Amino acid sequence: MHEVSIAQSLLEIVEEEVARYPGARVSRISLRIGRLREVIPESLRFAFEVISKGRVTEGASLHIEEVPLSLRCLDCQRVWVAETPFMICPGCGGREVEIISGQELEIESLEIEDGDQGS
Amino acid sequence: MEIRVVREILEANEVIASQNKALFSEKGIYVINLMGSPGAGKTSLLERTIEALRGEWRMGVIEGDIATSRDAERLAPYRIPIVQINTGGACHLDGNMVRGGLKEIDLEAVDLLFVANVGNLVCPAEFRIGEDDKVMILSVTEGEDKPSKYPLMFQVSSLLLLNKIDLLPYLDFDLEGFQEEVRRLNPKLQVIPLSCKTGEGVQKWLQWLRKRIRCKGT
């Protein structure tokens, strides 16, 4: 359900960015979302579609790159991809583990159409 | 035309949460974001805590619920500042909702503020509100598989209160196995088993709280 709030924040950012291109419409938005964020892509798409009615993002598609969770052991430097963020090294059993990726929740780029070149 | 953006989607919330945090620091208020499932015992914990600490600190509560003010009504007899925030469907509190609630509290008259989040194991973990510590309460009746099913909340919390341990004799809850799973997700997360009904373990929670407040220098 936090997808609704995420969609609202996303819409605010996109409207702010697109304001520099008068008359432009957004056709595609690329996002990177890490596995740890517990975001359901379909719910986010649905929420975004609903709140986009009548806005510059109406009809825009969301391209969501799901970033896997990767972890690194600070003892043996092993790097691995995990389904669940267990912070224990499967190699040496070390418990000093850092998250390399999987926490992303960011917008990467926008595809816009029909805009005048920005001022 | 493609425009590169690269911005954090929840950046607006982060900004407001940081402003809240700065305000709390300025006023010398220690703030706990209390999170857990519906029925885990958030309000019972607050009842126990307020009862025990009312002579030590001036406390306030922000209650987040989707609807009703039942939790706030339960706490009303303690005569401390309580603000009810009804999220109207939203499954968590965010920085902005808490900022709105703060307007109704005299911040000069509070040392310790509890923000009881909406009952939910997922969404509240995503939204900072300006808290000093996130404290999670989980009851043994929810089952020992919750850490790996809802890892984010276990990873962002500073303390896990395992409530309703008076029911352990009637359940197949593997306490050792549960604690090991929690350690695998977050080695720094301290677990305090307690029962808000019998009071067992509550002193340990109060000790933890006193120590954290002293660390903050309130």
Whether the pLDDT of residue A119 is over 50: the answer is no
Per-residue pLDDT, averaged over A99-116, amounts to 91
β-strand partners of A101: A70
CB of A9 less than 8 A from some CB of B: yes
Q: How many CB atoms lie within 10 A of CB A105?
A: 20
DSSP E strand boundaries for chain A = 25-34, 61-67, 69-73, 79-82, 97-101, 105-113
Orientation angle between helical segments A2-18 and A41-51, nearest 10 degrees: 50
Cα B146 to Cα B144: distance, rounded to the nearest angstrom: 6
Q: Which residues of A touch B188 (CB under 8 A)?
A: none
Looking at chain A, how many residues does it have? 119
In percent, the amount of chain A with pLDDT more than 70 equals: 95
Calculate the alpha carbon distances from B56 to A113, B49, B194, B212, B213 in Å. Answer: 62, 11, 22, 14, 11
| Minimal Cβ distance to A2: which of B126, B148, B184 | B126
Nearest CA in chain A to B186: A87
Per-residue pLDDT, averaged over A8-29, amounts to 95
Instruction: Tell me which residues of chain A, numbers 59 to 118, contact chain B at a CB-CB cutoff of 8 Å.
Output: 84-88, 95, 105-113, 115
Interface residues on B facing A, Cβ-Cβ cutoff 8 A: 1-13, 90-92, 94, 120, 122-123, 125-127, 148, 150-152, 155, 184-187
The answer to whether A4 contacts B11, with C-beta atoms less than 8 Å apart, is no
Which three-class secondary structure string do you get for B51-78?
HHHCCCCCEEEEEEECCCCHHHHHHHHH
Whether the pLDDT of residue B190 is over 90: the answer is yes
Query: pLDDT (tens digit, 9 = 90+) per residue, B156-171?
Result: 999 999 999 999 999 9
In percent, the amount of chain B with pLDDT more than 90 equals: 93
The answer to whether B9 contacts A17, with C-beta atoms less than 8 Å apart, is no
Query: pLDDT (tens digit, 9 = 90+) per residue, A30-62?
Result: 999 999 999 999 999 999 999 999 999 999 999
Q: What is the ipTM of this complex?
A: 0.87
Per-residue pLDDT at B215 = 85
The answer to whether B151 contacts A84, with C-beta atoms less than 8 Å apart, is yes
Report the gap between the CA of A7 and the closest CA in chain B (Å): 9
